[in-house]
Amino acid sequence: MDLWSTIFLINGVFFAVICGVVGSKKGNPFGGAFIGFFLGILGLIIVVLSSDRNRHPCPFCSESILKTAKVCPNCQRDLNRKSYTPQIQPTVQKKSNVDTKEVESKEEIEFDKTWTFLIAYDENVQIAQRQVEPYGNDALNDLKTAYKEYRDVAKLQEVAKKIAATYESINKAQEHAKSIVSKNPDEAAKSLGLEIVRKQKAGISICRGGKQVRWISNEEHLIPYLETLLQKESAQKKRRVENSILLKE
């Protein structure tokens, strides 16, 4: 055996041992030794860069894990299960707001057509409308709401009288209250269940049942405050009209 053959043999054995050790860690010791023996340092590079046969991707999260692992260290899934079927929550189809609005819009259109027809041809409806017209759109809307509830044109005149009487009473009370606010704020406050307590150099206290509910600095701010309360009181009375007169008998 000449010198070069001896060098090749020693070099081959050396790299075969190293590549075999590296290959054993990757699940292929014999392949690593074979490549190292014939390719030397180039074989070592190939073995180092080769894929690890002891590892494979997790079937759930695709991260590289040992083949002998029973639980994935990344996603904590049980790897002993042959298959994994994700739990899918049943979806409940809800009626969209758009569909609901479309239905309501169609119902409103149909009702408006019916109401227009009744106004044109039904004498009971015409008389009922004339009774509430002087009291504005709120009274007219209450009359239409009443027809939606009753669906009986014969009752509309009776309901229209109640609506007109209630709005007449509300308007008179509101006008009277407004007229006395500027003349006599104390009387206006009393009509609202309030008491005005004036304190020297300490502003004005608005009290209800002996307890202060509002403090006002001067007389100039008192009248606008009372007028706002009167408007709220009027709105509440109108809501009570809808909740009482328009109920089915």
> How much is the pLDDT for 95?
54
> How much is the pLDDT for 88?
47
Instruction: From 239, 229, 221, select the one nearest 178 (Cα to Cα).
Output: 229
Indicate the DSSP class of residue 88. P
Q: Mean pLDDT highest for which of 53-67, 75-89, 136-150? A: 136-150
- When mean pLDDT is compared across 20-29, 143-152, 173-182, 234-243, the lowest value belongs to 234-243
Q: Mean pLDDT highest for which of 22-31, 64-73, 78-87, 156-165? A: 156-165
- When mean pLDDT is compared across 27-36, 41-50, 96-105, 163-172, the lowest value belongs to 96-105
- Name residue 55's amino acid: R
Mean pLDDT of the chain: 76
Assign 3-state DSSP to the chain and report helix, strand, coil percentages, each to 5: 65, 10, 25
- pLDDT of residue 189 exceeding 70: yes
**How would residue 195 be classed by pLDDT, with cut points 50, 70 and 90?**
confident
> How much is the pLDDT for 123?
86
Residue 212 or 90, more confident: 212
Over residues 24-72, the pLDDT tens digits come to 877 777 887 788 788 878 877 887 787 777 777 887 777 888 878 788 8
- pLDDT of residue 87 exceeding 70: no
**How would residue 244 be classed by pLDDT, with cut points 50, 70 and 90?**
low
Rg (CA), the chain: 46
Residue 1 or 52, more confident: 52
> How much is the pLDDT for 83?
47
- Distance spanning both ends of the chain, measured CA to CA: 123
Q: Quickly tell me which residue has 């104390």 as its tokens.
A: 186
Contacts of 223 (CB under 8 A, 6+ apart): 181, 182, 185
For residues 245 and 158, give the distance between their C-alpha atoms in angstroms, rounded to a whole number.
10
**How would residue 86 be classed by pLDDT, with cut points 50, 70 and 90?**
very low
**How would residue 91 be classed by pLDDT, with cut points 50, 70 and 90?**
low
For residues 152 and 138, give the distance between their C-alpha atoms in angstroms, rounded to a whole number.
20
The model carries a pTM of 0.41
Give the dihedral of Cα atoms 95, 97, 98, 102; nearest 10 deg. Answer: 90
